[in-house]
Structures are given as C-alpha cells and as structure tokens.
Amino acid sequence: MQIQTLERMESNVRTYSRSFPVVFTKAQNARLTDENGREYIDFLAGAGTLNYGHNNPHMKQAMIDYLATDGVVHGLDMWTNAKRDYLETLEQVIFKPRGLDYKVHLPGPTGTNAVEAAIRLARVAKGRHNIVTFTNGFHGVTMGALATTGNRKFREATGGIPTQGASFLPYDGYMGEHTDTLDYFEKLLGDKSGGLDVPAGVIIETVQGEGGINVAGLDWLKRLESICRAHDILLIVDDIQAGCGRTGKFFSFEHAGITPDIITNSKSLSGFGLPFAHVLMRPELDKWKPGQYNGTFRGFSLAMVTATATLKKYWSNDTFERDVQRKGRIVEERFQQLATLLTENGMPATESGRGLMRGIDVVSGDIADKITSKAFAQGLVIETSGQDGEVVKCLCPLTISDEDLLEGLDILEMCVKAVVNE
C-alpha cells in the first residue's frame, strides 16, 4: 500500500490513521474496503457521523437528484429550496410529534462551531459570562468550546492562552454511585460565597462520548433541568455525538423527558457524512442581531438535502428507533459478557451505554489498545475513548445488518479472549 506521501505530508496532528494505517478506497453501510480489497467492519463510523452507514443509497440518490437539477450548492445563508425543505421536514418530522418549538441557527458545519454558537447565544441571552460544564465533557477544540472540554490533552494545546468562561462540576457518577453530584451544584448556587459565578447556561452530554461513555441517569437529568429552571439558567444539551438516534431516540434527552433551552447537533445530522450543524433554541432566546454571528459555510445545501432525506426515511415513524434499541440490547448483553470475562481474569471491566452508544471500560489504556489493535488485525475498526483511552467504544452504524453486528462482536470477543490469555 502506498502510504509514503500520506505519512510525509500530513501533519503530525493526525490521529485515526495511526490506529488504522491502511488506505481506504470504498465503503458501504458498515463495511470499509482498503486498497488491497480487504474488508473491515466499521464500529467507529466516523466517530458517530455515519449513523446511517457509509454511502446510504437513499441519501446518495437525493444528492444526485439535487445536483442533476443544478440545485444551489453554496448560497451563504441565502434562502434555497434545500433549506426550506430541511426546515419544513425538521418541523413536521421531529419537532411536531415531540411537541417541540425551536428556532434554527445554522452556524459553521462542525460540532465545535455549533457549541461556540450555543454558548455565545446563552451569554448574549442572559447577560452572564459563565457556562457550567462537566468533568470528562468534550465539546470541541475551538477556544470557546475548549473552555468547556475537560481533557488536558486538548486544553494544554493552546500555546499558553488560558481558556475562560467555564466552570467544571462533577458529572453524574463522578464521585461514586452514592453521591448525587447535583447536591454540590445546588449548594454552590445557593451560596453567595461559594465562588461560582451564576452561569448563563449549563452544557451537558447526556451520554459522554469522548469522555468514556459515561451515562447520566434519567432522574439526574430531570433534576438538572429543574435546577436550571429554578435559577434562570439555560440548559444546553450537546447532542452532537449522542443525538440523531445514537441512543435509540432522535434526541438523547428524550429518554429523560426533559426539554433543553438550546440543543446542538452535528456529526450524523446530514445523514451522509457531509459537514452540517445546527443550533436549536427556544424562540424567545433568539437574541442574535442580523449577521452578528456568521460564517461562510452556514447550512451546506447538499447536507440539507441529505438531512431531509434522512429525516423522511428514518424518522417518520418509530420503526427505526425501535430497531436501534433492539441492536443496542444485543451489544449491551455481549459487552456485559466481555466485561465479566475480563473481570474474572483479573482485569476489572465494566459495560456502559445507552442505545447503540456503548463501551467497555477496561480501566487501562494499554489493555484497550491491545484489544482494538488486535481487532483491526482481524478486520474490525473500533476505537477507544476516555481520558486514557481506557474505554473500548462501539459506535457502529445504526443501520448495520444483524450479520455484520454479530460478526463484529465475535471478532471483539476473540480479541478480548486473546488478551485475557496472553
């Protein structure tokens, strides 16, 4: 395989190509093919960007049809039929059945763009600077979003410029299962000399993806919502990784029955791997002045076309979400067995997750690396997350066939057994 140019020219900052050092040429649903024709099952799926698989034929056709009409591909934030279709479909398919009412801000197309816009909006709307965020949270790496991201690896890469405007609180479970970390938040809010600047907003992932598949309890999330309401603080759910069906519902917070003030989505929003993000805000929070927050790539038409096709195809009824929940239970059961196997062999491990966002925490980054590199050698692309990469994380496409899902899980089991027997 010709990798010399890639190794020589691409910056040292590259990551995934280190774990999977082959040249991929084709992909279809949950399968990737490399230059030598070798196939891999994909349990990474663009880190949650390919919830509907690679080259999903429905979205591909929608895009081809749009291009065939010479549809507008780039129009800054001018009105296009692609944008109108997207907003109408979002309202009909997602908002109305859930009783939701949001205005839609189309920022730049990445997750971090959406988070920047969301936290800026919260500050503008409330006239306060502080944003509460949680331990192990990951919200992106541009300066504003980075301030809300916990991992030191990213925080130290600013050339010494301090991150500002965020206060970290312990996520659910951070202090052990017997401590409700929200007691601390509530106490600080009621304590004039507790040192916490009253925040404009709280930003939270209901399941932390990069932070290691930490799952916030549903009651905990409900309590967080009521604390926010009681103190006039905006609740921002960052659903960039956990949204778009990953946890078995379109929005991850639906499980808890809460209604955030602001929501961020990106990653799988286009349904096809095209760059696309939106920020949803309660209508009365739309405090932006025209053009006050801009960007050249606001609402990429092709992504809006594929996003519309995705919503129509997968979210017009509950068949798809029930199937995701079913597959989630399969992964959960197999991961629990693997965690037990590891634990019984002196490598303490726990399973966690919601829907098809699941992980096995093996406590050690070295053990997790051994498992995932053996998996790659056997034809399974799977990555780790957590502060030391200690969580083996499954983010397979939600559209994966049962056959590929089981084959991927079998490979993982074989690799875990190999590590146990070393």
Question: In the complex, which residues of this chain contact ligand PLP (CB under 6 A)?
Answer: 47, 110-112, 115, 138-140, 205, 209-210, 238, 240-241, 266
Instruction: Say which residue the tokens 């390919």 belong to.
Output: 50
Report residue 1 CA to chain centroid gap: 32
Mind spelling out the 3-state secondary structure of 269-285? Answer: HHCCCCCCCEEEECHHH
Which residue sits closest to ligand PLP, CB atoms considered? 111
- CB nearer to ligand PLP: give 48 or 53: 48
- Residue spans of alpha helices (H) in 267-318: 301-315
Report the alpha-carbon distance of residue 274 to residue 303 in Å, rounded.
6
CA dihedral 359, 228, 193, 216 (to 10 degrees): -10
**Bridge partners for 26 per DSSP:** 33
- CB nearer to ligand PLP: give 209 or 389: 209
* DSSP assigned state of 29: B
Q: Are 216 and 207 in contact (CB under 8 A)?
A: yes
Minimum distance of ligand PLP from residue 241's CB (angstroms): 3
- Taking the CA atoms of 400, 401, 406 and 412 in sequence, report the sign of the dihedral they define: negative
| Neighbour-count burial for 188-225, b at 16+ CB within 10 Å, e otherwise | ebeeeeeebeebbbbbbbbbbbbbbbbbbebebbebbb
Report the alpha-carbon distance of residue 205 to residue 215 in Å, rounded.
9
Minimum distance of ligand PLP from residue 396's CB (angstroms): 16
Report the alpha-carbon distance of residue 272 to residue 54 in Å, rounded.
7
Q: Report residue 46 as tokens.
A: 């663009």
- CB nearer to ligand PLP: give 252 or 259: 252
- CB nearer to ligand PLP: give 113 or 310: 113
Minimum distance of ligand PLP from residue 45's CB (angstroms): 12
- Taking the CA atoms of 295, 263, 214 and 268 in sequence, report the sign of the dihedral they define: negative
Tell me if residue 401 falls in helix, strand or coil: coil
- CB nearer to ligand PLP: give 111 or 173: 111
- 189-196 LR contacts (CB < 8 Å, sep 24+): 189/227, 189/231, 196/130, 196/132, 196/167
- CB nearer to ligand PLP: give 85 or 205: 205
- CB nearer to ligand PLP: give 53 or 211: 211
- CB nearer to ligand PLP: give 44 or 339: 44
Minimum distance of ligand PLP from residue 9's CB (angstroms): 22
- CB nearer to ligand PLP: give 85 or 355: 355
Minimum distance of ligand PLP from residue 244's CB (angstroms): 12
| Amino acid, res. 117 | A
| CA-closest candidate to residue 272, choices 44, 24, 54 | 54
Report the alpha-carbon distance of residue 320 to residue 316 in Å, rounded.
9
Report the alpha-carbon distance of residue 149 to residue 301 in Å, rounded.
30
Minimum distance of ligand PLP from residue 267's CB (angstroms): 6
Minimum distance of ligand PLP from residue 127's CB (angstroms): 25
Minimum distance of ligand PLP from residue 199's CB (angstroms): 18
Minimum distance of ligand PLP from residue 217's CB (angstroms): 18
Minimum distance of ligand PLP from residue 390's CB (angstroms): 17
- CB nearer to ligand PLP: give 29 or 148: 148
- CB nearer to ligand PLP: give 80 or 110: 110
| Amino acid, res. 235 | L
Minimum distance of ligand PLP from residue 275's CB (angstroms): 8
